[in-house]
């Protein structure tokens, strides 16, 4: 029973999230005590479901771009031809962690305008570091004996990378992607300050109208999405590790 309890709790959370996004008015009695002066208890300036889907789309696009760039950089600096670029690559991927997302948005808006684009830039830069560092760790800790065995079997450098090194480092890489996604889910809310369609709209509307119900529902939706996606990626990570024989 104990083994099934976490899964049962996650399924209940998913069911509650789907129910709230589909029919938020069902939950109005629970949120009503958080409002003042007859203010609406449920966000009524747009569809919560649409905002959640747009929020996830923005995170997905930024994360996909971060994966491509970060993994490519990690592969480059672990090859003899690109080893000298490791310090430069580390400096580049640290940019997103050095500059606050708000500062990135402020710099990006004059260049690309308001909307989703500056948010994508901020999330992309912010998501590079964990993916790059984890991929780098996975590639540099691949047992040399396995690589030598693959070379002895006649595999080319490309074959060793795609059939041996990357599969072996996949669990570590997925851990970096998981961290990047969770960071982006939370950070994407600030995109609404530059007119991006995210769940930040709900939080900002609550702050502007002093409506705690709006702030709470926006924050809880983002938190629920983060927990569910974190668990899903953790499950993929464990599956990849078992497939590679790294865990029992």
User: DSSP letter at 152?
Assistant: H
CB distance 5 to 22 below 8 Å: no
Distance, in Å, from the CA atom of 228 to the CA atom of 21, rounded to the nearest integer, reads 15
pLDDT value of residue 248: 44
SS3 38: coil
The count of domains in the chain is: 1
The residue assigned the tokens 């708000």 is: 102
Q: Which domain holds residue 54?
A: 42-243
The residue assigned the tokens 């606050």 is: 100
pLDDT value of residue 163: 87
Tell whether 167 is covered by a domain. Answer: yes
pTM: 0.90
pLDDT value of residue 9: 84
pLDDT value of residue 18: 92
User: DSSP letter at 78?
Assistant: T
Q: Which residues contact 238 (CB under 8 A, 6 or more apart)?
A: 171, 247
Distance, in Å, from the CA atom of 204 to the CA atom of 65, rounded to the nearest integer, reads 27
Tell whether 24 is covered by a domain. Answer: no
Tell whether 175 is covered by a domain. Answer: yes
Nearest CA to 67 out of 184, 194, 165 is that of 184
pLDDT value of residue 246: 60
Q: Which helix (H) or strand (E) holds 168?
A: helix 166-187
Distance, in Å, from the CA atom of 10 to the CA atom of 12, rounded to the nearest integer, reads 5
Tell whether 10 is covered by a domain. Answer: no
Tell whether 26 is covered by a domain. Answer: no
Other C-beta atoms lying within 10 Å of the C-beta of residue 173: 26
pLDDT value of residue 95: 79
Tell whether 34 is covered by a domain. Answer: no
Q: What is the CATH number of the domain that holds 207?
A: 1.10.3720.10
Other C-beta atoms lying within 10 Å of the C-beta of residue 119: 35
* Below-70 pLDDT ranges, the chain: 1-3, 244-248
Tell whether 234 is covered by a domain. Answer: yes
Q: Which two tokens stand for residue 206?
A: 């609550």
């Amino acid at each position: 029973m104990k083994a099934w309890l976490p899964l049962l709790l996650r399924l209940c959370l998913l069911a509650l999230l789907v129910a709230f996004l589909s029919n938020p008015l069902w939950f109005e009695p629970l949120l009503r005590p958080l409002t003042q002066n007859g203010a609406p208890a449920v966000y009524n300036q747009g569809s919560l479901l649409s905002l959640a889907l747009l929020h996830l789309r923005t995170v997905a696009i930024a994360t996909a771009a971060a994966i491509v760039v970060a993994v490519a950089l990690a592969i480059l600096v672990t090859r003899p031809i690109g080893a000298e670029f490791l310090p430069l690559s580390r400096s580049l991927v640290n940019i997103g962690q050095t500059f606050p997302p708000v500062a990135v948005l402020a710099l990006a808006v004059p260049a690309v305008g308001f909307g989703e684009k500056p948010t994508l830039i901020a999330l992309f830069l912010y998501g590079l570091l964990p993916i790059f560092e984890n991929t780098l760790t996975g590639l540099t800790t691949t047992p040399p004996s396995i690589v030598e065995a693959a070379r002895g079997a006649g595999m080319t450098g490309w074959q060793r990378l795609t059939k041996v090194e990357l599969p072996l480092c996949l669990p570590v890489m997925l851990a970096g992607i998981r961290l990047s996604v969770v960071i982006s889910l939370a950070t994407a809310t600030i995109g609404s300050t530059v007119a991006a369609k995210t769940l930040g709209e709900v939080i900002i509307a609550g702050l502007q109208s002093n409506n705690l119900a709006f702030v709470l529902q926006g924050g809880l939706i983002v938190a629920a999405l983060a927990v569910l996606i974190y668990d899903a990626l953790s499950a993929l990570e464990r599956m990849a590790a078992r497939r590679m024989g790294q865990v029992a």
